[in-house]
Amino acid sequence: MRTSDFDYELPKELIAQYPAERRDESRLLVLRRDDGAIEHRRFRDVEEFLCPGDLLVVNETEVIPARLLGQKRKTGGAVEVFLLEEIGSGRWEALVRPAARIRAGAELEFGGGSLTARVVRELDGGKRVVELSAERDLAAVLQEVGRVPLPPYIEREAEDADRDRYQTVYASERGAVAAPTAGLHFTEPLLERLESQGVGIARLVLHVGLGTFRPIAVEDPERHEMESERYALDAAAAEAVNATREAGGRVVAVGTTCVRVLETLADEDGRVAAASGGTRLFIRPPYRYRCVDVLLTNFHLPRSTLLMLVAAFGGREQVLAAYAEAVRERYRFYSYGDAMLLI
């Protein structure tokens, strides 16, 4: 297996720059693993493919306004800080620009001085440890001053509407710098309809990191190093997963983030136990899924770890054929794009 085995051609105009007008009006490509059959539907039709006794597993991470634009306090020079992970009270690991001019001890300010940052330590790769402070509640000021960290393939500045639309309706645990995009299509009424027809909902957390957008730069995927992402699965969710499997229901993972948590924790029989920590799990063919039965996901970048994960679930040839079909049918790709259901 080579990285180039997971390449495909995508016209630039199919990269979604804005979300669908309504979350559940996105398109939905349904791929059946047993015979490769494809159906073209709308996302709201997902309830037709789920059954009483199935369990929908969602990632309730909340995207933080991680992009800070400001200046150096002494010189007024423009700076950008991209928060990556909180590592202590007010202390963050962050990417900074221009890295060569932002050294340990530098003082930065944002939002006219309502938010300040001191560079505590220099790390490799343009990263720094910064300590944030504000005259009032830090989280509230960060919410006001920070910008939505839209992915680099969305070639526009974040707008006010993105604060809502680049967030799932069930987001509740702050910490991600990218949205778990498969969940962006759900509305509260759709979730209520699913529950009313006997579909369970379990919640976990995986805080999506910047590495989710990083393509594999080497031809041998074995040499690719995954960045760790923090997760948490509580006892109630673990019990729901195990009970569903024991009763013969299906575990439906909403997005690759849920897949990685469940498969990180699953034993050989597909059972999971409550846990928290960091995962570097890199799922790629050949991989035997132990816990996940159905996968709901968006369309992913060529040569990416996420496309490999989907290919390991649905079969490389079938998944790439479905991607080619999606291109022909003018589906919208990536974070604000359409969805795919693999049964």
Read off φ and ψ for residue 40, nearest 5 degrees.
-110, 120
| Same domain as 199, residue 136 | no
What pLDDT, on the 0 to 100 scale, is given for residue 262?
98
User: 225: burial class by Cβ within 10 Å (0-12, 13-18, 19+)?
Assistant: exposed
Per-residue tokens: 138: 């830090």
Give me the CATH number covering residue 107.
2.40.10.240
Q: How confident is the model at residue 69 (pLDDT cuts 50, 70, 90)?
A: very high
Task: Look at residue 63 and tell me whether its pLDDT is greater than 90.
Answer: yes
| Same domain as 34, residue 86 | no
Q: Tell me which of 125 and 258 has the higher pLDDT.
A: 258
Task: Look at residue 245 and tell me whether its pLDDT is greater than 90.
Answer: yes
What pLDDT, on the 0 to 100 scale, is given for residue 120?
95
Q: How confident is the model at residue 106 (pLDDT cuts 50, 70, 90)?
A: very high
Range from 2-6, 62-66, 117-121, 210-214 carrying the lowest mean pLDDT:
210-214
What pLDDT, on the 0 to 100 scale, is given for residue 178?
94
What pLDDT, on the 0 to 100 scale, is given for residue 212?
75
134 inside domain: yes
What pLDDT, on the 0 to 100 scale, is given for residue 248?
97
Task: Quick: pLDDT tens for 193-208.
Answer: 999 999 999 999 999 9
Task: Look at residue 215 and tell me whether its pLDDT is greater than 90.
Answer: no
Give me the CATH number covering residue 22.
3.40.1780.10
Name, in order, each residue with C-beta under 8 angstroms of 161's C-beta and a sequence gap of 6 or more. none
319 inside domain: yes
Task: Look at residue 326 and tell me whether its pLDDT is greater than 90.
Answer: yes
| Same domain as 303, residue 194 | yes
Q: How confident is the model at residue 79 (pLDDT cuts 50, 70, 90)?
A: very high
Q: How confident is the model at residue 135 (pLDDT cuts 50, 70, 90)?
A: confident
| Same domain as 47, residue 90 | no
User: Is the pTM of the predicted complex or chain greater than 0.85?
Assistant: yes
| Same domain as 38, residue 130 | no
What pLDDT, on the 0 to 100 scale, is given for residue 131?
96
E-strand ranges in 49-126 read 55-59, 61-63, 67-72, 78-88, 91-97, 107-110, 115-122
Residues 288-309, mean pLDDT to the nearest whole number = 97
Task: Look at residue 213 and tell me whether its pLDDT is greater than 80.
Answer: no
| Same domain as 178, residue 137 | no
| Same domain as 200, residue 140 | no
Task: Look at residue 211 and tell me whether its pLDDT is greater than 90.
Answer: no
**Is the Cα dihedral 254, 16, 171, 265 positive or negative?**
positive
Task: Look at residue 329 and tell me whether its pLDDT is greater than 80.
Answer: yes
Q: How confident is the model at residue 74 (pLDDT cuts 50, 70, 90)?
A: confident
| Same domain as 314, residue 216 | yes
Task: Look at residue 318 and tell me whether its pLDDT is greater than 80.
Answer: yes
What's the structural domain count of the chain?
2
| Same domain as 133, residue 89 | yes
- The boundaries of the domain holding residue 34 are 3-63+164-342
**To the nearest whole number, what is the mean pLDDT of the chain?**
96
Residue indicated by tokens 């001019």: 101
Query: Is the Cβ–Cβ distance between 213 and 177 less than 8 Å?
Result: no
E-strand ranges in 177-244 read 200-206, 229-233
Percent of the chain whose pLDDT exceeds 90: 92
Task: Look at residue 163 and tell me whether its pLDDT is greater than 80.
Answer: yes
Task: Look at residue 172 and tell me whether its pLDDT is greater than 80.
Answer: yes
